[in-house]
Chains A and B, each alone.
Chain A
Amino acid sequence: MTYPHTHAAGRRTGTSSRHDGRSALPVPPQVPDRRGPGGRRLLGLLLLVGLLASVLPWWLGTPAGSLRSTAATVTAAGRITGLIAGYLLLVQVLMMSRLPVLERWIGGEQMARWHRDVGATLLVAVLAHLSLILVGYADLRNQSILAEVGTLLGDYEDMLSAFVATGLMMLVGFSSVRAIRRALPYELWHLLHRSSYLILLLGFGHQFTHGAQLYKPGPVRTGWIALYLLVVAALLWGRVLAPLAFNLRYKLRVADVVAESPDTISIYLTGERLGRLTMLGGQYFRWRFLTRGCWWQSHPFSVSAAANGRWLRLTVKVVGTHTADLREVAPGTRVWAQGPSGTFTAAHRVRERALLIAGGSGITPIRAMLEELPPGAALIYRARTPADVLLSRELDWLAQERETSVWYVIGSRDDPGPRQLMSPDGLRQLVPDVARRDVYLCGPPGLVEQSVRALRRAGVPRRQIHLATFEL
């Protein structure tokens, strides 16, 4: 993971005042190279080809015209949905493997969105598979569906565990419906979601003992098993080996905890070899503070300053018990970090200039990114009260250094001022070329939704809108 920082060097302007003593940066950050959508498209294509390939064995193994009875047709549909479900399950787990290459090509945020969509499809495919096979088999055997369930559970090896896996998947699926998920405690939801690994295990057997396409030893069966091994390897690499290597290498520790405002703290971290840490402003890590009360929790927080070779900083709003505990973290505490992740960075820009919209503590990734964006960016910082404005001194300094226009928009969402400004016309007045800029949004969901709507109406194409979402 290296980013050549060479070509952009000549493009930066206004760097003469950098060394006037205010800069904490020994190495001036530079504009990172653009990362196009190539990786994402390639991977999307690969996954699609895989989907087709997973149904291919059925297509080749079924002679044309062989589906003569209703039962045979229904069973065939059950087999197809079964193959698709088996494949999608693997894709689901792969996307959550945190494999560095996936994080780099697609990004955690995009992956979370795919994961949700594929998840819904997977659940439907599994239920379709189950019911179609039940109806088809019951028809073939000329018995009721309930009796067929009995036959499958009693006479068929591995079928009990497959049924359990389906039940678990339904639980996981329904608990992830947004309305239900909000009503559940996070820990319970998380535990339920963790049981997905069990689904992978429990659903494994029946595919090979009864799958009409996977039953026979041969290339199809071998390939399917190979897919499983690949996904398990990706999980092991992304969730165990890569973080282990990262943390053994950089050995992060808490250096200091500083209050930024009455309810916001910055945690400074130091470590070894930080000069070689490649990270982009706007990315996040999953942090695990190894103290008695906190070690078992891992939370994603953005880094609030670009890589500088000496320290990392995260700025956190105190909202829950975990963040409250973070106030008390003693200097010297070891920190286990997993990352960096995220595509909310200057490298993912598609235009030369940018508009950044931050709400409240959503400023943190944007503050880090400002150091790496090409000069000429614009920042709108929404905050309810002046006391909610964070890192304002740094922002002022960056405004000067990076030729950034900064507007602080203070007030409630319903106040006439902010309301007028966050409308399509208001945005166009403030930033006339808004439609030709990348727009980076980070803040509370209400602000993000409202802004996206206004931006779309102001003529900003969807691909130019970048969202920082941690929802997972």
Chain B
Amino acid sequence: MRRALLAITGLAASTTALVVFKGSPGATQVAQNLPTAQPVNPTPQDVDPGTGPTADPVAGAPTPSVAPSAPASAKPSKSTARPPGSPRATTKAPTAPRTTTKAPQSTTRRVTGPGVDNEYGFVQVQIVVSGNRIVDAVSLSLPSGGESDIHSDDVSSRYDGTGGEVVQKQSANVNTVSGATETSNSYKQSLRGAIEQAF
């Protein structure tokens, strides 16, 4: 029994040590780069001032003028911005004139959500709104590299696109992709920002 107690103590100590070792270099980094970073997640954590919620009414002609470039994040190497004029966005464009004939003020708008930093990288979402409907969602940036590629692919294939979950649910209340909890959460956070901006 004495050995069991020893083993349990060892387990606790080594787990703590591992986490502390991995966490320590980052702690200073956070302190330098993000003096106001909040320890808890609920509010958008690391909103990049340059890419706050921006709404760009694109009346009639849907040119991808917004084209947000990869925002400077705390870890630039981890974030890769998708090409702004993604095929999905442009193929969706021809439907825009039809919607304008219905209601004069109803135009197709592209709204970019706030950039959200999480432990794996940078997440930013853009939605295309027609009238009061979300007709498309595009993830402009998702974490990349190693395992993150898989999770990011999962997240974008679930949420993005004209038939994705965002368009189906018409809200930020989408199901978390299992295995990619944090990326899903950051996606939702950015999405929520975009939706608030759009409506």
Contacts and interface: CB of A to CB of B under 8 A. Distances in A.
A116 B4 CA distance: 8
Given A118-B7, A141-B181, A209-B178, A68 B37 contact: yes
B147 A212 contact: yes
Interface residues of B, number: 37
A65 B7 contact: no
Contact of B119 (A72, A210, A216): A72
Interface in A126-149: 128, 137, 139-142
A139 B41 CA distance: 7
B146 interface: yes
Interface string A33-55: 00000000000000000000001
Contacts of A209: 178-179
Interface stretch (B10-18, B48-56, B93-101): B10-18
Dominant SS at the A interface?
Answer: helix
A142 B4 contact: no
B61 interface: no
Contact of B40 (A64, A69, A121, A210): A69
Of the four ranges (under 10, 10 to 19, 20 to 34, 35 or more), the interface on chain A belongs to: 35 or more
A120 B40 contact: no
Contact of A140 (B16, B27, B147, B182): B182
Interface stretch (A150-158, A377-385, A458-466): A150-158
A62 B22 contact: yes
Contacts of B67: none
B42 interface: yes
Interface in A330-363: none
Interface in B150-199: 150, 175-176, 178-179, 181-182, 185
B26 A69 contact: no
Given A68-B37, A71-B41, A120-B4, A61 B147 contact: yes
B176 A155 contact: yes
B7 A120 contact: yes
Interface of A: 55, 58-59, 61-62, 64-73, 76-77, 80-81, 84, 116-121, 124-125, 128, 137, 139-142, 151, 155-157, 209-210, 212, 215-216
Given A76-B19, A121-B11, A212-B147, 12 more contacts: A59-B18, A66-B26, A68-B27, A68-B119, A71-B40, A72-B182, A77-B15, A121-B7, A140-B181, A151-B176, A156-B178, A215-B150
Shortest beta-carbon contacts, A-B, top 8: A65-B26, A67-B23, A120-B4, A65-B25, A117-B4, A121-B7, A66-B119, A117-B3
